[in-house]
Amino acid sequence: MSAILAGLVVLLIGDSHMVHEGGLIDLLPQSLTADGAKVYAYGACGTTPTDYLTPKTTDCGIASRVGTGPVQRAEGTGRPVWDARDLIAKTKPDLVIVVMGDTLGAYKMDALPRAWVWDQVTALTGELRAASLSCDWIGPPWGTNNPAFGKTQGRVTELSGYLAQIVGPCDYVDSTTFAAPDKWRTIDGQHLDAAGYKAWAVAITRAIEQRAAAPAAIAPVKPGLWDEPW
C-alpha cells in the first residue's frame, strides 16, 4: 500500500466511462483503495458537468460503488443523476476526481463549442472552489480515429488542450499522455476495451499519486483569469 493517499476520502464522479461493466468504476476505486483511500464512486452515462448540478435523468444507465464493494448498476431510461453538492455533503471528500471529457467533445459538430464547454466546466469547478475542495479533472483518452464517428485525434487534442486551460482549481490529468494514439483499442470508437480501461485506471492512479506526493505551488489568481477564454 502506498501511503500517499492513505486516509483520504475520495469522491469520484463521471460519465459513461464510470458506468460500463469493465470500465473505470470497476477498476479505479479498487486501485485508489489499495493506496489507502476511502472511495465513493458515481457514474451516469452521457452526462456533462451541469447534469450533476441540476435535476437530470439519463436514458443509458447509472452506476455507483463504495470502496471495493459491489458495483450497483441501474440500466434503462429515466435514471436520475446525482447532485454533486449532495454527494459532497454526504461523503465529505478530501479529494474530488472528475472523469469527464468525451461528453464535452461535441464530436458530431464541425467545431468545438468552446463557450458551451467553458460554461459546463466552470459551473462544476465553481462549486468545488466554493467548497475549498482539492480536485483532479481526468481528460479524455485517445479513441479510434474515425471522422465518421466524430472522435478524431485532432478534436481530442483540441479538447484536451482547452480543458487543461479551464479546469482550475482542479489539476488536469491529460490522458492523451498515457499512451500513443490507437494503442488502447475501443469497442465503439470511444469506450475502451478491457485492456484499455485497465491501463487507463493504472495511469490515472499514478498521476494522482504523483500530484499528491508533490503538489504544485498555487499561483496567485490574475485579474480576468476566470473570464471566458475563447
- Structural domain containing residue 60: 9-213
* pLDDT tens digits for range 162-204: 999 999 999 999 999 999 999 999 999 999 999 999 999 999 9
CB 211 within 8 A of CB 97: no
Domain count, the chain: 1
* pLDDT tens digits for range 12-68: 999 999 999 999 999 999 999 999 999 999 999 999 999 999 999 998 999 999 999
Residue 3 lies in a domain: no
27: left (phi over 0), alpha (psi -120 to 50) or beta: alpha
Which pTM value belongs to this model? 0.92
Residue 71 lies in a domain: yes
CATH code of the domain in which 134 resides: 3.40.50.1110
Residue listed under C-alpha cell 467533445: 105
Burial of 24 (0-12, 13-18, 19+ CB in 10 A): buried
